[in-house]
Structure 1
Amino acid sequence: MHANDAERLGVATAAYRRAMLTPFVAFPSSANTAPAPRHAGVDILAPRPAASPVVRFAPQATRDVTVLGPLAAFAVGGVTDLLINGEAGLWVDSGHGLRHEPDWMCPERSLRELAVRLIALGGRHIDEASPCVDVRLADGIRVHAVLPPVSSTGTLISIRLPNATRFSLETLASAGLCGAGSAAEAMVDRLRQAVHDRVNLLITGAAGSGKTTLLAALLAESPPDERIIAIEDVAELQIEHPHVVGLEARQANLEGAGRIAADSLLREALRMRPDRLVLGECRGAEIRELLAALNTGHDGGAGTLHANSLRDVPARIEALGALAGMSVESVARQTVSAIGLVLHLERHRGVRRLAEVGRFSLDDHDRLAVIAA
């Protein structure tokens, strides 16, 4: 190892240990936090009394957001995302689009400290050598942070808050996910039947469109004597089922060792007697292992995929297959054989809906295509 690299690694290690060992004064265990008045000289990291930061969605559903410290006061009601854009401020999404929070003000130095300690609570470090980090905190809260100079607008923190309530398929349908009237009822019956018939499902859509929520609701329809094994980069799935096993990918440590990718976890899952194999999100070379597994008798599986529309799904799968070294023809034939139904979700003005249902086929040139089903 070069002397400069060793020195930088030693500095990063020391900073990480300090973050883990130093008490987080901004995250008091007994005192709660509240938004600070927007005026000069206020440090948003200082603790303040406020209402309890445990958010209640339903009588039996709670979400503990105390780990967010000064941000806990904003993680209330139906808030799903908290986005901090350096000193430009905080934006909150509660299902109706992003809105700016005028009561939040945090200087860059304090914001960087907040990012370092949030990431440390997730068991990782963030510094100039590793300026982009994603971690999972308590209750499935996801935190992603980016430091300057990678960010040209100051420290960036993006927080995704999972819903404390586990929605059933009926609840989602009643909220308008499947449309209205008899058409909605028919779609619910069709989805439930697909699960019972062990059809392999792929749920697609943009970020925040409800892919994970729908996937969890569909898997909850599985018979209770089946074993579900879910592989995720960051654990988010909350499935109302008596036999769920979760595997979470792991990133490399400070020395660059210890990484366990989703494709490795998929291979391990095949040795764990899965009745249903689930990949939380297809985003890389693991698509090869998933297609191989679903083509060798592991039916009833499911996964999600980012895509702008149903017609864009084949191109996305081809791109992921290329990362795994698969030819276009191989991707097409394995996908047609492996995936029985594609469910595409859209989100418009805060409303999530099942916009299109399709199935894969081969076009005249043996390329992957998708048609309405």
Structure 2
Amino acid sequence: MTPTRRALATTLALTAALATAPATSQAADTPQHPWYFDTLRAEEMWEHTTGEGITVAVLDTGVDPTLPELQGQVLEGADFTAGAEGAHVDTDGHGTHMASLIAGTGEGNGIQGLAPDAKILPVRINPGGDFSLISVDRWVEGIQYAIEAGADIISLSGIRKDVIGASGPLAAAAEEATRGGVLFIAGVGNSGEDENTAAPPASLDGVVGIGAVVKGGERALYSTYGPQVALAGPGVDVPSRCGFPDGPLCLMEGGGTSAATALVSASAALIWSQHPDWTKNQVLRVMLNTAERPDDERRDDFTGYGIVRPDRVIVDGEGDPGDPDSPPIFRDWEAGLVPPATPEPTPEATPDDSAEPALGPEAEAAATSDDGSPLPWVLGGTAAVVLVAVTGWLLLRRRAA
């Protein structure tokens, strides 16, 4: 099936599925009650969890905590921009908007977030404008700070068009987040209608790339596509303040993959709050396995595994979290991560002490979707391990003979 036909099939299937989603008592789309509240059964989810106990680091333009819906929701944070005016300064409004979509309380007729009891850790890496104009060092410092400050989730809506490849400081920061058990979520960008450029951090191993969909489930045409897309979230007709910071609430016609990233991050916060003993691997696994997607498609390059559906986990109890130590994607990459340089190995260390453990049947099963189909980016290394093991066994038998 060609990419165009597959995209059409995906669109039709997702539209049909989402059209039958249960509706709550409010049907009209308003800034206080956007369309995805009905699709995701937000009010039913809030009967079980509201994101309490989870910290989401928003790496962006800062977060203004004085807005009614964000009062009491925003931690101190840190500012890594050249001016260092403080993490609570946001003259652009982008970071505040993302924080409101995640954890806004709706107070004072403000934006109602999807995880209203999650806490926002503001990490200011950009005073405003093109994220690619900001030094990569600022990004890296911000990511490292979020990890050290104890964030459970990193939500980063910007991309670096100027950084090519999967190596360098940003890749090292993504590795650090992975080792720290942090779920790193990033938008894939809005270049789907022109150059469609894959860019970090969403294109990096260990980072969950997020695309955007419109009401009904179709991919937003602007949403960048490719193998870096793992999940999709609502990116059109999302609540905002038209005229930041004091303007009235409105529904943005194009919220972009930025908004989708914030809402997927909020979804992860809700799931993790309900299951605080889960690891980031388990949270991500159930998000992938319960996403809205056609039955005959494992994933595609447009919405990844599909549209995030936290309600299926929280309300319906769906999704098998699996092995807490086995990532559902990037497994071979994680298995190959070089341990930190310090502390140095002791002289007594042996090759067996430092070797990576072989992946057993349980880990293999944990890296499959709920319909038994394998998730991407995990097969190559496993096949190599099996091949090496079988080859070694045959050689031993031949020598014994």
* TM-score, reference length from structure 1: 0.31
Structure with bigger strand share is 1
Q: State the structure with bigger RCO (CA 8 A, min sep 6), 1 or 2.
A: 2
* TM-score, reference length from structure 2: 0.29
